[in-house]
Chains A and B, each alone.
Chain A
């Protein structure tokens, strides 16, 4: 209403619905609120952000679909979810692609990562604003520590329903069991599964450690958390606001990645205190595991992989 009123035109205002799966105090949930504060201040109130956490607007797939359709504007997602719309970005879910979070952070600023994002944007209308992190994926099991590949034989390991994720396990003789995260604890308790692979923050908040007493640091994979926005909405913003949105998202993401690193360490210490045995898989064994899974990368562009991992 009031479209025809005379006088100075009011500054256009925009509302962003920003929804995610994590609940505070998870850094990815905190990041949503931080983004809202940052952009509301830098845009001087021209952008309002409605923050939704803990999946109250829907599950991961639903939120990504909603961003694509423009029924919400922003979400925090995963390369695996994005890959259902744009297969090449699934490369970021390959096992042993990065050895650490700092290495991943550097790789995600590379031209190769930029090309992946822009390729996806033009194909799907989903734009990556920044790369946050869920953290490096580790293995946590009930009955024994994993020190060699032989320990993985016939181990029933919960994972996500995804070719690369299940292949990472089955290529070394483990039995991948794709399960919903909410069923993991019970499945461990009832011995339907032996182990779980997840980032430390998930293993900790899901309370896997109440049952699983053996945490093996493998760095199987880096669970990246791309912050995405509906490209059509983004393009509809005035140029200065576009810059503000990007700057806010990237600043928040940089802080979030640091947070994840220090929190992972805290969580590991807390789990150790409650009797969890922690071991780190030796580089030799990791190398064996890596070479057993190399064919999983065959479907992805070689030069992208090289660009991400520093051209080796």
Chain B
């Protein structure tokens, strides 16, 4: 339902931007708009400044340590201070441009009128949560004023200040959304939100103070489901449940939610998130992938399902570079689309292959989910990066077997010319940078030049170089590159923050013990834990969007697996892939929805084609569960070397 009206070509004389236009727009509205744009400009500039500061110090630290023999001990402190600015500012901008992932599977099936009203209700919900978080963040700001960072002695509360500012901006955006849907839908939306609020409040009142953990969980869970189905962005669904649980159970104070959001994004390790997102964008714009895509497609042209095979191979190669699965899907999808469609496949075929390959890509290093898992558990990030290589390859092979089996039944004509002789050489030569860049990043990590976190800054440097030396790259160098980076990184980091608050309440509510005893009751042996994980984790990954699932289940499941004698790397990789399967599986997976949104397809059509691939991945997971060696052999070889 697109209601926007195409603008008439603007033929009026240019006016100074600070003067209100005389086109009938009220002065108040004009000031609101201009004010909002100025605020956005400040947020964007702060994001860039923070990013540059962190980039500079992290890279300088690698250089001084390896070449000059001293380290910048304050470099991690700079990162810790700058991350919340990037996280919360970027998160608010993501909401403002409508890039905060939400479950829209139910809402999309409603009639236009009902859809508009539920949309308005979702935004009203965001408005309330943003205000509650901002207000309670005041306590965190007060308390943090007395705290100093250990080396530079900087006041520690500006992370909390950044959160408050971002929540205020989010509230403004919510008001703008409500304004834009028109008065009637706005009233409907507010009505729905008020009714839900009254029901929740009545439940709260009925439950009374100091409610039992069980009852409080029921209220929080019930609200979680309603908000999720209503299409409230996942970040605010998590925050709603956390706030409600704390309020109903009286186990803590509401300030714990903003405090945990801040501490969740203050770890040095997650600096890699914005860096890998930025590096992926820069390398994508530099056009390094196109020659690789042509080469592989050409080589596989004669194989049944050749172009779909190429898609899998490309996803394996490039899912390492970008920090965002959806960026991978978009980048590879765009480069393959023309050839795949020309060969007679549908865009739904391509989307299903992309979604399935994106699951595989979760285990290809450097992967954001592995980074996050490593940073919140005792599992080593470098170890996970090594461990993921073979399991991802196994899933890739299984996917290609499935593609081949299906292609035998539906013969498709190849239209891509198979390169020979000189042409093949030229293509291979042109592909070198595209293959070398991911390799350089891995070599930096495995040779000890840089930790995985630091390697992300090297990836950015490579991206900048690639962009400057390629002609296509230089022409694409523009401020327009910024917003996707800012919103993607901001969203991922904000999810980490809100999931930190959410898992605090889960822990306080005794959820870890519950899961622990469930796995214990159902047979605490290593095989039953592995098998149960392969079955249950995709379901949990589907309900909680991938990253929150990792954040919540990682610290919960890793100790259970370790105490059953399961190798941590094996379980870590299995966890990442199983949750990835859930994220990209129809009918609920957010990854599936994003893939369809990016490729302009419908979930039901793509979902139908996804199932055989989903089955192949599931088989792969079972193999990985029962053959630990596939995961542990590479770390074993590299570790001893």
Contact = CB atoms under 8 A, between A and B. Distances in A.
B626 interface: no
A256 B126 CA distance: 47
B380 to A, nearest CB: 4
Contact of A50 (B74, B259, B508): B508
A70 B118 CA distance: 38
A72 to B, nearest CB: 7
Given A61-B266, A161-B150, A187-B451, A69 B139 contact: yes
Interface residues of B, number: 61
Interface string A189-215: 111100000000000000000000000
Task: Give the interface size bracket for A toward B.
Answer: 35 or more
A181 to B, nearest CB: 8
B452 A87 contact: no
Interface stretch (A35-43, A52-60, A129-137, A240-248): A52-60
Interface in A118-166: 123-124, 154, 156, 161-163, 166
Most buried by A among B76, B209, B255, B256: B256
A180 B507 contact: no
Given A62-B259, A71-B253, A71-B255, A17 B77 contact: no
A50 B267 CA distance: 26
A57 B151 contact: no
Contacts of B70: 170, 175
Nearest to A187: B451
Contact of A162 (B150, B259, B267, B268): B150
A186 B383 contact: yes
Contacts of B150: 80, 83-84, 161-163
B104 interface: no
A69 B140 contact: yes
A185 interface: yes
A288 interface: no
B113 interface: no
Nearest to A179: B451
Contact of A190 (B144, B378, B379, B382): B382
B151 A162 contact: yes
A183 B272 CA distance: 13
Contact of B269 (A70, A176, A182): A182
B227 to A, nearest CB: 23
B196 to A, nearest CB: 24
Nearest to A63: B263
Contact of B208 (A1, A54, A62): A1
B559 A163 contact: no
A166 B72 CA distance: 10
Given A59-B267, A61-B266, A182 B451 contact: no
A178 B73 contact: yes
Contact of B263 (A23, A58, A124, A189): A58
A89 interface: no
Interface in B122-145: 139-140, 143-144
A180 B65 contact: no
Interface string B254-291: 01100110010011110000000000000000000000
B565 interface: no
Interface string B37-78: 000000000000000000000000000010001110110110
A250 interface: no
A161 B73 contact: yes
Given A84-B149, A190-B382, A62 B452 contact: no
A49 B381 CA distance: 34
B520 to A, nearest CB: 16
Contact of A58 (B74, B268, B500): B500
Contacts, number: 144
Contact of A183 (B251, B269, B559): B269
Contacts of B77: 161
B446 interface: yes
B521 interface: no
Most buried by A among B267, B381, B504: B504
B447 interface: yes
B217 to A, nearest CB: 15
B252 interface: yes
Contacts of B143: 65, 68-69
B448 A69 contact: no
The DSSP consensus for interface residues of chain A is mixed
A104 interface: no
B209 A1 contact: yes
A294 interface: no
A176 to B, nearest CB: 6
A162 B77 CA distance: 10
A187 B377 CA distance: 16
A108 interface: no
Given A17-B252, A69-B253, A182 B508 contact: no
A127 to B, nearest CB: 16
A178 B76 contact: yes
A192 B448 contact: yes
Contacts of B269: 180, 182-183
Contacts of B612: none
B148 interface: yes
B147 interface: yes
B602 to A, nearest CB: 41
Given A84-B149, A190-B446, A154 B451 contact: no
Nearest to A153: B69
B488 to A, nearest CB: 24
Contacts of B34: none
A66 interface: yes
A48 to B, nearest CB: 11
A180 B255 contact: no
A124 B143 CA distance: 9
B180 to A, nearest CB: 37
A84 B500 CA distance: 22
A186 B451 contact: yes
Contacts of B381: 182-183, 186
Nearest to A83: B150
B449 interface: yes
Interface in A45-104: 50, 52, 54-59, 61-62, 65-66, 68-72, 80, 83-85, 87
B207 to A, nearest CB: 9
Contacts of B379: 182
Contact of A57 (B156, B267, B504, B556): B504
Interface string B63-99: 0010001110110110000000000000000000000
A15 B555 contact: no
Contact of A84 (B156, B208, B253, B383): B156
A228 interface: no
A110 to B, nearest CB: 25
A20 to B, nearest CB: 13
A271 interface: no
B252 A85 contact: no
A17 B150 CA distance: 27
A186 B380 CA distance: 6
Nearest to A86: B146
Interface of A: 1, 15, 17, 23, 50, 52, 54-59, 61-62, 65-66, 68-72, 80, 83-85, 87, 123-124, 154, 156, 161-163, 166, 170, 175-180, 182-183, 185-187, 189-192
11 contacts: A58-B500, A59-B267, A66-B252, A124-B146, A162-B150, A175-B70, A182-B374, A182-B380, A183-B269, A186-B381, A192-B450
Q: What are the 3 closest A-B residue pairs judged by CB atoms, nearest first?
A: A186-B382, A62-B263, A191-B448
Interface of B: 65, 69-71, 73-74, 76-77, 139-140, 143-144, 146-151, 156, 208-209, 251-253, 255-256, 259-260, 263, 266-269, 374-375, 377-383, 445-453, 500, 503-504, 507-508, 512, 555-556, 559, 639
Given A66-B252, A66-B256, A190-B446, 20 more contacts: A17-B252, A52-B507, A54-B555, A56-B555, A65-B140, A71-B252, A72-B252, A166-B73, A170-B70, A175-B69, A178-B71, A178-B73, A182-B269, A182-B377, A186-B380, A186-B381, A186-B451, A187-B448, A189-B380, A192-B449
